[in-house]
A and B are shown apart, each in its own frame.
Chain A
Amino acid sequence: MPEEVLRLAEARHVGTRLRRREDARLVSGRAQHVGDLRLTGTVHASIVRSPLAHARIGSIDATAARGAPGVIGVYTAADLEGRVDPMVESAREDLSPRLAELVDLEVRSLPMPVLATDRVRWLGQPVAAVVATDPYLAEDAAALVEVDYDPLSAVASAEAALEPGALVLHPELPDNVHARLRVTAGDVDRALTEADHRLRERFELGRQVSNAIEPRGVLASVEGGVLTIRATNNKPHLVRTFVSRMLRIPADRVRFVSPDMGGSFGGGVFPEDVLIPFLAYDLGRPVRWLEDRRENLLATSHGRDQVHEVEIGFRDDGTVVALRDTFTMDVGAYNTYAVTVPYNTVTHLRSQYRIDHFSVDGLVVLTTKAPAVPVRGAGRPEATFVIERSMDLVARALGLDRAEVRRRNLIRPEEMPYDMGIPYRDTVPMRYEAADFPAQLEAALEAFDYEGWLEHQRVARSQGRRIGIGIAAFIEGSGHGPFEGAVVRIDESGHVTLLSGARPHGQGHETVLSQIVADQLGVRPDDVDIRAGDTALLAYGRGSFASRTAVMAGNAAAIAAARLREKVLRVAARVVGADPLELRIEDGCVRWPGHPDVEMDLRRVAAEAAPGPRSRVDAGEQPGLEETAYFVPPTATFASGTHLVAVEVDADTGGVRVLDYVTVDECGTVLNPTIVEGQVHGGVAHGLGNALLEEAVYDEDGQLLTTTYLDYLLPTSMDVPSVRVGHQAFPSDRNPLGVKGVGEGGAVAAPAAIVNAIEDAIWPSPVRITRIPVAPERIVDAISAVGGAATDRATQEDAAG
């Protein structure tokens, strides 16, 4: 088959600040989240969770629960035996077996039971499910399920898990390592030996929870013989596949429908996503489970939890020549994502910088914590924290300006497409695209007024106030596939519909995808109906996560719509006797310039194309106006950005106040600037929370101490500044629309930028800020280490190599 020459119509709606069509229902209380749906005969599930981090399960006595008012059933692992298979890694769908041929990589197999069998391995692990006529009664009865636990020692940190002789959490494995990887480029040993200077540092990123404001929920029912699942999950087709495989039901007898969804910020397929459909299947009636916030903090979307030991080699002029990193990721009791997150950490560790000698060893370590999944940024904030903190340390060591050190290390536009010398996670050699990182830095410095802030800082210091300035650049590999699908159809009433595999949860996809399709079909965005995330509508789909939807679903929609435009023109041309190239679609009508009498609306074209004896499609062509496209990108596209922030720290309380925040983002073609800015604002807020407030804290017994919003703090309107957002645009040549992802970038760079600013504010304290979230007492200690009062930095600059 000859290669298709895809011609996209000119952008008319793409690039505009079209107001979101989602908003009308969301602001008026008419949205339909999973908890808002009502199905006749629905019963309610409550999950019995492990109160211990690690224990052997002796017996489970559900007698009292079964006899409690309203109870319909109680399920334990024994009831699932032979009927629900354990879960395997979701990432197996993504991970090419070829990657292990290209880099040193090992991922062990570790299926996870839906309900704990003989042992519980994390606090909050599902042990039993109670179904009752009312959610209050289900919770009452869940409290009556008596589980006889024989406590075992917790394995409460990666460090403890790796100690010689440590208790092995899973007897089927030789130790507590689930995956390991080693990725190298150049000759790091030699480059370190030959470098003028070397420094080492340890960086830690605490465990953090994604915290969508809508807790998870699942409503499952058997409708017309189809097990139908409505749930807060950003991967509809993956849930369908899991349920189909684990319950051994044909995939076409399982359907995932996507109601409105209140955020995600990370996630995966969780045991409840399979358990609740099983209960509905078994009971033959709708079963609803709505997670509460305590369960969410215990068992949903934990992430980060990495410790890095870094060694950097650099020259007298600040050029970094070598980077060696050894890190652990504490993944908790099971690892459902193989190496998705740690491999992202590897590929984003050198960020915008030319560091040709590079070596990373990563270990994914099993402990008695909740299983970690990708959380907004998914390994990128961790990498960015490590490299951007390191750049500051290099500058400090040499007494150089921190912006200047970055200038000397940035990959230059004439070096593009720069080859990073390692494979990306999709196995394709990791090469950047056209970009201008130095111009991005200068644009950010100028927008921020870097010189002005330096002066302001000097004046403030002389008045005893501690202001700090932070810089952080990032890259964001996005839209790396493997695919996304779209169907565009013009029905016989002339209506345009897009079916998309990617379900939205706040990103404005209904608006943006309608802009894309409208441009291709010559209609208004309002004329394009969007239906997303229903597995019955599209054979294959992936979902919305990893900053992928604009790239993946956007291009799939554009390609399908562009093909459909060509077909519309072919059919119309045949009807009016024109050459298709002479025709145009404008305002929903096909026109023939120079022939004012020719005007066919899409309804008429659809009627001419419909199957049947009057069909006017070309011989050999399928009738109907419908095109399907699966967009499979050649590899990831690389967005980037630079953040600058000014903070003031309080020497007495360790409090941090953000005074100003500037970003310059580069995400290729901007589909809707308002939505892009919103993504950046939200990402920065997320990163600020990660830097200063958020941590899931476990004690040495593996008890989680942060199970309410009084303990796990999210940033509020008093914490988050007004972010000033600037843009660069280098359209990607890796997809027809030229877009790059933007959903995570704010969260990727903000922790590094903010901590760099804090350390600048406490400078020249010998105390380093190497851990997030930053504890206020660390700041107080750092300042008291230099005598409390703000002093003149110039006199104490540490110029040691």
Chain B
Amino acid sequence: MSAIEITLEVNGDPVVGSAEPRTTLADFLREVAGLTGTHLGCEHGVCGACTILLDGRSVRSCLVLAVQAAGRSVRTVEGLVGPGGELHPLQEAFSELHGLQCGFCTPGFLMTAVELLEERPSPDEREVREALAGNLCRCTGYVNIVNAVLLAADRMREP
């Protein structure tokens, strides 16, 4: 299958690479862009581990083809870390409240939560649980993840 050269913006930087029409965006990010923070848990759009933001909206990068992302803007977990290495308030809160154990699903949860808090800065617990319902975690039982998102929301609202 012939590869096509595509350009997309990933975490603010242009990435140029070749992708076959069938190459998933997740594989492109991991194998071509070298960003392995986006994880593959089911490759059929249910577990949410590969969630990224495409033009600001959360998508399952296992269900998007790389060529569909050409010319568009992608944000991944790597882009949450500040220029000086400082953690995003969500990353900080996940760690502080033990919202992760093995951490494999965590990048997907973080990106889903980023979208939630950008749209809705003061969610209640129910809204957080609903927003996260498309991400599977086998380790934590979710309670500390939910609390971490609520804590990060509080901190991000502070002036």
Instruction: Give every chain B residue within 8 A of A505 (Cβ-Cβ).
Output: 102
Q: Are A213 and B41 in contact (CB under 8 A)?
A: yes
Q: Are B46 and A23 in contact (CB under 8 A)?
A: no
A506 at the interface (CB under 8 A from B): yes
A794 at the interface (CB under 8 A from B): no
The 10 closest A-B pairs by CB, nearest first: A29-B37, A262-B104, A26-B103, A506-B102, A681-B141, A685-B141, A709-B46, A23-B95, A36-B36, A506-B101
B16 at the interface (CB under 8 A from A): no
User: Mask for A1-28, Cβ within 8 A of B = 1, else 0?
Assistant: 0000000000000000001101110111
Residue of A136, A263, A675, A684 near B104 (CB, 8 A) is A263
User: Taking each of B20, B46, B145, which has the highest tally of chain A beta carbons within 10 Å of its own beta carbon?
Assistant: B46
The chain A residue with its CB closest to the CB of B95 is A23
The chain B residue with its CB closest to the CB of A32 is B36
Q: Are A214 and B142 in contact (CB under 8 A)?
A: no
User: Taking each of A19, A29, A721, A722, which has the highest tally of chain B beta carbons within 10 Å of its own beta carbon?
Assistant: A29
User: Mask for B104-147, Cβ within 8 A of A = 1, else 0?
Assistant: 11110010000000000000000011101111111111111110
- A456–B89 Cα gap in the complex (Å)? 40
Q: Are B133 and A263 in contact (CB under 8 A)?
A: no
Instruction: Give every chain B residue within 8 A of A294 (Cβ-Cβ).
Output: 44
Q: Are A506 and B44 in contact (CB under 8 A)?
A: no
Q: Are A717 and B78 in contact (CB under 8 A)?
A: no
Instruction: Give every chain B residue within 8 A of A682 (Cβ-Cβ).
Output: 101, 138-141
Q: Are A262 and B136 in contact (CB under 8 A)?
A: no
Instruction: Give every chain A residue within 8 A of B146 (Cβ-Cβ).
Output: 717, 722
B102 to chain A, nearest CB (A): 3
Instruction: Give every chain B residue within 8 A of A720 (Cβ-Cβ).
Output: 141-143
17 A-B residue pairs with Cβ-Cβ distance under 8 Å, sorted by A, are: A27-B95, A33-B39, A33-B104, A36-B30, A263-B101, A263-B102, A290-B40, A292-B43, A293-B41, A678-B139, A681-B142, A682-B101, A682-B141, A685-B141, A685-B142, A708-B44, A718-B130
- With A215-B41, A263-B102, A263-B138 known as contacts, the answer to whether A28 contacts B81 (CB < 8 A) is yes
- A33–B118 Cα gap in the complex (Å)? 29
Q: Are B36 and A35 in contact (CB under 8 A)?
A: yes
Residue of B22, B77, B138 near A686 (CB, 8 A) is B138
Instruction: Give every chain A residue within 8 A of B141 (Cβ-Cβ).
Output: 678, 681-685, 720, 723, 746
- A681–B147 Cα gap in the complex (Å)? 13
Residues of B participating in the A interface, judged by any CB pair closer than 8 Å: 20, 22-23, 30, 35-44, 46-47, 49, 76-78, 80-81, 87, 91, 94-96, 98, 100-107, 110, 128-130, 132-146
- A292–B103 Cα gap in the complex (Å)? 18
- A19–B148 Cα gap in the complex (Å)? 14
A646 to chain B, nearest CB (A): 17
- With A19-B96, A136-B22, A213-B104 known as contacts, the answer to whether A709 contacts B44 (CB < 8 A) is yes
Residues of A708-732 contacting chain B, CB below 8 A? 708-710, 714, 716-718, 720-723
The chain A residue with its CB closest to the CB of B81 is A28
The chain A residue with its CB closest to the CB of B129 is A717
Q: Are B98 and A714 in contact (CB under 8 A)?
A: no
Q: Are A681 and B140 in contact (CB under 8 A)?
A: yes
- With A28-B91, A681-B140, A718-B130 known as contacts, the answer to whether A710 contacts B46 (CB < 8 A) is yes
User: Taking each of A20, A31, A35, A674, which has the highest tally of chain B beta carbons within 10 Å of its own beta carbon?
Assistant: A31
Instruction: Give every chain B residue within 8 A of A681 (Cβ-Cβ).
Output: 140-144
- A686–B20 Cα gap in the complex (Å)? 39
User: Mask for A251-270, Cβ within 8 A of B = 1, else 0?
Assistant: 00000000011110100000
Instruction: Give every chain B residue within 8 A of A29 (Cβ-Cβ).
Output: 35-38, 76-78, 80-81, 107
- A507–B102 Cα gap in the complex (Å)? 7
Residue of B38, B39, B135 near A214 (CB, 8 A) is B39
The chain A residue with its CB closest to the CB of B110 is A27
Q: Are B46 and A708 in contact (CB under 8 A)?
A: yes
Instruction: Give every chain B residue within 8 A of A26 (Cβ-Cβ).
Output: 100, 102-103, 106
B104 to chain A, nearest CB (A): 3
Interface of B is mostly: loop
- A507–B76 Cα gap in the complex (Å)? 25
Q: Are A213 and B105 in contact (CB under 8 A)?
A: yes
Instruction: Give every chain B residue within 8 A of A22 (Cβ-Cβ).
Output: 103
Instruction: Give every chain B residue within 8 A of A716 (Cβ-Cβ).
Output: 132-136, 142
A30 at the interface (CB under 8 A from B): yes
- A260–B104 Cα gap in the complex (Å)? 9
Q: Are B91 and A678 in contact (CB under 8 A)?
A: no
Q: Are B139 and A263 in contact (CB under 8 A)?
A: yes
Instruction: Give every chain A residue within 8 A of B87 (Cβ-Cβ).
Output: 24, 27-28
Q: Are B98 and A20 in contact (CB under 8 A)?
A: yes
A211 at the interface (CB under 8 A from B): yes
- A721–B137 Cα gap in the complex (Å)? 14
A212 at the interface (CB under 8 A from B): yes
- With A717-B133, A717-B146 known as contacts, the answer to whether A23 contacts B100 (CB < 8 A) is yes
- With A23-B103, A213-B137 known as contacts, the answer to whether A722 contacts B143 (CB < 8 A) is yes
User: Mask for A52-67, Cβ within 8 A of B = 1, else 0?
Assistant: 0000000000000000
The chain B residue with its CB closest to the CB of A263 is B102
- If A213-B104, A262-B103 are given as contacts, then 9 extra A-B residue pairs at C-beta distance below 8 Å, sorted by A number, are A27-B103, A30-B37, A215-B40, A263-B104, A292-B42, A674-B98, A678-B101, A682-B141, A716-B135
- A425–B9 Cα gap in the complex (Å)? 58
A508 at the interface (CB under 8 A from B): yes
B129 to chain A, nearest CB (A): 4
- A214–B139 Cα gap in the complex (Å)? 11
Q: Are B140 and A213 in contact (CB under 8 A)?
A: no
User: Mask for A293-336, Cβ within 8 A of B = 1, else 0?
Assistant: 11000000000000000000000000000000000000000000
The chain B residue with its CB closest to the CB of A709 is B46
User: Taking each of B100, B140, B142, which has the highest tally of chain A beta carbons within 10 Å of its own beta carbon?
Assistant: B142
Instruction: Give every chain A residue within 8 A of B104 (Cβ-Cβ).
Output: 31, 33, 212-214, 262-263
Residue of A20, A28, A290 near B77 (CB, 8 A) is A28
